[in-house]
Structure 1
Amino acid sequence: MNEESPKAVFYALAANFGIAVCKYGAAAFTGSGSMFAEAIHSTADCGNQLLLLFGLKRAQRPANALHPLGSGREIYFYSLVVALLLFFVGGAFSVYEGLHRMVHHEPLTSPLVALVILGVSVVLEAFSLAGALREIRKSAPNKTLWRWFRETRESELLVVAGEDVAALAGLAIAFCAVLMTMITGNPVYDAAGSIGVGVLLMVVAYVVAREVKSMIVGESASPEVRKAIDAHLRARPEILGIISLITLQWGRHVVVAVQAEMIDYASGRAMIDAINVIEEDLQTVFPEVRWVFFEPDIARDRAQPANML
């Protein structure tokens, strides 16, 4: 797991705060529905980043009797809350605002100001997205962005990247809507832009929430980590074969459960010592592996009926 991902959250918080201030000023000055929707979106994003930082802090709490594996997965809960807020506060409100303005045909004043503010917002949002992409490349230098999105276990970085992509696309929609309103003098384009921004946010929020829900249910370590752990264990001279290997992502850490057939040892104590060496070496090679549960066993013919095993 990338220990630097909170940097992306701070980048996004700083960028969205500056963007929100600019957008509110422009919305008040121009009366633009698209601009006001974008301002609400940026405000929601600021709150979302604060929630993610709070979740990251909570996830660092040590293990106790009630939570013997610690609170690492708590960040998944806060990431899901952020996705829901993005859907309802950002998306649904923007759609409502657009429909309201479409019905009442509220005029747009000083659209040029709105276009300038949207341009500034694009620059600031691009800064935030660039920070998120840098952190993504550190943990997945050879993956496409879509593959990383489907395979990552860093929910906070996934949320920030999703927000930033949605924000840039939303700014493009708002820019086009304000520009069409300025050219034609028809405020319906501005209202339609607000609706478009809202629909976009709801779609992104749904996709992000679906990925985070999978993490909450319980996902294995990323495919490359699991494959590397499997190869490492199979290369151990003490192990004849791997019967079962389960990995579980637990926040920034990984739980590993191994069932393996061992070579013959003169005593049970000798086998226990060998298992301890295997576990220590595994945690040295893979620092993210916090817990290892190792069970020596004998491989069985799983094609036989259960009563013959």
Structure 2
Amino acid sequence: MAATGSHTGSRRVIFAALAGNLAIAATKFAAFALTGSSAMMTEAIHSTVDTGNQGLLLLGLARSRRPPSSTHPFGHGMEIYFWAFVVALMIFALGGAVSIYEGVLKIQRPEPIGRAWINFLVIGLAALFEGGSFLVAWREFRVLRRGTPFLAALRRSKDPSIFAVLLEDGAALIGLAIAALGVAGSAWLGVAWADGAASVAIGLLLVLVAVFLANETRSLLTGEAAAPRIVEAVRAMLAADGRVDDVAEVLSMHLGPQEILLGVTLDFRDDLTAVEIEGAGDDFAQAIRAIDPRITRVFVRSGRARAAYARPPPD
């Protein structure tokens, strides 16, 4: 049930961003055609890339919900991490790099901005749309945040379909402010290169967002563990049980935003029978799943099994 609710929240965030960015991109391109503003062109590219990114995240969500198969026995939950990584690459290449390139050209060959009021009108409308999309993502993120500091919560979040949209929309709002400064500097203050400089600044902002997003999804793609609080809660519960002499290891890995694989190796008391050990394993698996609903697969083995597994093969 928790997973279903999370998927619903993720889809709501993405659809809100998709609708907003699609309308904003068309408006910005029209403004660029009428005024020739480099910053507005950069913002139009930014919104177009964001629109495509939301489509990729929806694709990732859909593919991640496919059931397990013989080739993917643990399911396809990590698909969302792959597509979020693709989104990071698109932000870097099509958003950041292109914006910087366009800005450098404008700095070298500045052109006057005509009808600057159109740019400001579009920037104001875009801020309203982006702000609405950001609020939807922020509400979902706040539920997951649970009072944790913002940056720490971003790093701990395992759902890129939410934090990627949050970062994109946040960067978009900052980018709009930068674009407004560039247009004002070029059109009203006579600083010809201001529009191009704004484009470069927006591009650098997008590069930073892309690098952060790529690093976070890289960690998830390569087998990131569950949050320390979950691992410690599991370890404490097992250590407190009288049937366990020692908790040898607690291993975990995220198979998706709402799926955690958890394996424990235990040294049981020597006086326990095989039937009692088997019963304890079943009890522990049920208790571990109760700690966090995202723990969907639990493997319990005894310390003796671990020692046998670690023994090197005979020559």
TM-score by length of 2: 0.89
CA distance in 2, matches of 1:12, 1:235: 47
2:193 to 188, 201, 205: 188
CA distance in 1, matches of 2:91, 2:10: 20
Shift of 1:266: 5.1
The amino acid that maps onto 1:233 is L
- CA deviations on 1:202-251 (whole Å, 9 max, x unpaired) are 11111111111111111101222223332333344433331100111111
2:262 to 239, 256, 262: 256
* Counterpart residue number, 2:277: 271
* Counterpart residue number, 1:114: 119
* Counterpart residue number, 1:295: 301
* Counterpart residue number, 2:104: 99
CA distance in 2, matches of 1:131, 1:51: 19
The answer to whether the Cα contact below 8 Å between 1:243 and 1:299 also exists between their aligned partners in 2 is no
* Counterpart residue number, 2:41: 36
The answer to whether the Cα contact below 8 Å between 1:261 and 1:299 also exists between their aligned partners in 2 is no
CA distance in 1, matches of 2:91, 2:109: 26
Indicate yes or no: 2:31 matched with 1:16. no
Change in 2 beyond 3 A, CA 1:82/1:63: same
CA distance in 2, matches of 1:257, 1:167: 41
The answer to whether the Cα contact below 8 Å between 1:152 and 1:222 also exists between their aligned partners in 2 is no
CA distance in 2, matches of 1:127, 1:58: 27
CA distance in 1, matches of 2:122, 2:95: 19
Alignment RMSD (CA, Å): 2.0
1:158-307 alignment, distance < 5 Å: 158-251=163-256, 252-264=258-270, 267-297=273-303
Query: Per the alignment, in what secondary structure is the counterpart of residue 152 of structure 2?
Result: helix
Change in 2 beyond 3 A, CA 1:160/1:256: same
Shift of 1:299: 12
- CA deviations on 1:106-142 (whole Å, 9 max, x unpaired) are 2211111101211121121111111111111111221
Shift of 1:7: 2.0
Corresponding pairs, count: 301
The amino acid that maps onto 1:278 is F
CA distance in 2, matches of 1:262, 1:194: 63
Shift of 1:81: 0.3
CA distance in 2, matches of 1:266, 1:228: 24
CA distance in 1, matches of 2:17, 2:242: 48
Shift of 1:36: 0.9
CA distance in 2, matches of 1:53, 1:235: 43
* Counterpart residue number, 2:58: 53
TM-score by length of 1: 0.91
1:88 to 85, 93, 105: 93
The answer to whether the Cα contact below 8 Å between 1:260 and 1:297 also exists between their aligned partners in 2 is yes
CA distance in 1, matches of 2:299, 2:305: 18
The answer to whether the Cα contact below 8 Å between 2:39 and 2:103 also exists between their aligned partners in 1 is yes
The answer to whether the Cα contact below 8 Å between 1:248 and 1:255 also exists between their aligned partners in 2 is yes
The answer to whether the Cα contact below 8 Å between 2:233 and 2:291 also exists between their aligned partners in 1 is no
CA distance in 2, matches of 1:15, 1:197: 19
Shift of 1:42: 0.2
